């Protein structure tokens, strides 16, 4: 069993060597330049789903986007992991844009919507159930289950945009005049398209307006 596991890893090491040859044949200075380069304008907060790779989707090179991923792209005010990423991105990297990126057909959101038991992750996706409960009236009007799931995926992104804007990290940065815009987007696995959910927030007053609209909706 140990030999088999080692063989599986060996394949990754071999592919790594092939990748290095491919990259350096096209750009001999690739790694020497990368060592001194981490100056991203974007913080990407996305889902852990292996089919949603941040850099490839938007055609950005390593060093051009700072990435945090978790199940269902959730931002919780008690999660010091995501809060630490946001603070580092804002205070040290000086990113100008924070992008929450969900994707249609998210299995974490589907589990929350269908009350599917997963295990310890049930505690995490409880936050999605809160989003579902908040927008229950709108969702129950959607008869098609796939479309209902897609809408919940969108609503979850919108709620996380608001959550980010409500953090003291972002609030303090805005108060100091730092230019940071929070965006919400959703990705389709079916065609690869990234859709803007038109929920961008660039200051505290826009956050208040967006939050009021969500409560009213």
Residues 105 and 149 in one domain: yes
Residues 61 and 98 in one domain: yes
Residues 30 and 107 in one domain: no
Q: Is 196 a catalytic residue?
A: no
Q: Is 127 a catalytic residue?
A: no
Residues 11 and 68 in one domain: no
Of 33, 51, 126, 136, which is the active-site residue? 51
CB atoms within 10 A of CB 16: 10
Residues 111 and 200 in one domain: yes
Residues 11 and 79 in one domain: no
Tens digit of pLDDT at every position of the chain (217 positions): 556 666 778 999 999 999 999 999 999 988 888 887 778 999 999 999 999 999 999 999 888 999 999 999 999 999 999 999 999 999 999 999 999 999 999 999 999 999 999 899 999 999 999 999 999 999 999 999 999 999 999 999 999 999 999 999 999 999 999 999 999 999 999 999 999 999 999 998 888 887 777 656 5
What is the structure's pLDDT at 203? Answer: 92
Q: Is 106 a catalytic residue?
A: yes
Q: In whole angstroms, what is the distance from residue 197 CA to residue 30 CA?
A: 35
Q: In whole angstroms, what is the distance from residue 152 CA to residue 186 CA?
A: 11
Q: Is 11 a catalytic residue?
A: no
Q: In whole angstroms, what is the distance from residue 94 CA to residue 49 CA?
A: 27
Residues 58 and 155 in one domain: yes
Residues 67 and 11 in one domain: no
In 3-state terms, what secondary structure has residue 82? helix
Q: Is 185 a catalytic residue?
A: no
Residues 86 and 116 in one domain: yes
Cα within 13 Å of Cα(47), Cβ side: 27
Find where tokens 């505290």 sit.
204
How are strands ordered across the β-sheet holding 42-47? 65-70, 42-47, 97-103, 181-187, 194-196
What is the structure's pLDDT at 153? Answer: 98
Residues 83 and 2 in one domain: no
Residues 197 and 90 in one domain: yes
Which residues span the domain enclosing 16? 1-36
Residues 141 and 93 in one domain: yes
Q: What is the CATH number of the domain that holds 49?
A: 3.40.1050.10
Of 68, 97, 106, 185, which is the active-site residue? 106
The two structure tokens encoding residue 25: 């044949």
Q: In the chain, how many domains are there? A: 2
């Amino acid at each position: 069993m140990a030999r088999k596991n080692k063989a599986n890893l060996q394949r990754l090491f071999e592919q790594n060597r092939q990748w290095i040859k491919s990259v350096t044949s096209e750009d001999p200075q690739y790694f020497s330049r990368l060592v001194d380069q981490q100056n991203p304008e974007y913080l990407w907060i996305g889902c852990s789903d292996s089919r949603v790779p941040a850099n490839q989707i938007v055609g950005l090179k390593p060093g051009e986007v700072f990435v945090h991923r978790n199940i269902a792209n959730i931002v919780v005010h008690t999660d010091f992991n995501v809060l630490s990423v946001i603070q580092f991105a804002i205070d040290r990297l000086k990113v100008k844009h924070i992008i929450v990126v969900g994707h249609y057909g998210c299995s974490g959101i589907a589990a929350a919507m269908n009350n599917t038991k997963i295990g310890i992750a049930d505690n995490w996706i409880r936050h999605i159930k809160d989003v579902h409960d908040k927008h229950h009236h709108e969702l129950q009007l959607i008869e098609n289950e796939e479309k209902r799931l897609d809408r919940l995926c969108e609503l979850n992104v919108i709620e996380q945009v608001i959550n980010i804007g409500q953090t003291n990290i972002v609030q303090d940065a805005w108060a100091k005049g730092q230019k940071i815009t929070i965006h919400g987007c959703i990705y389709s696995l079916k065609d690869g398209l990234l859709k803007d959910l038109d929920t961008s927030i660039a200051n505290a007053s826009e956050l208040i307006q967006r939050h009021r609209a969500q409560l009213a909706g």
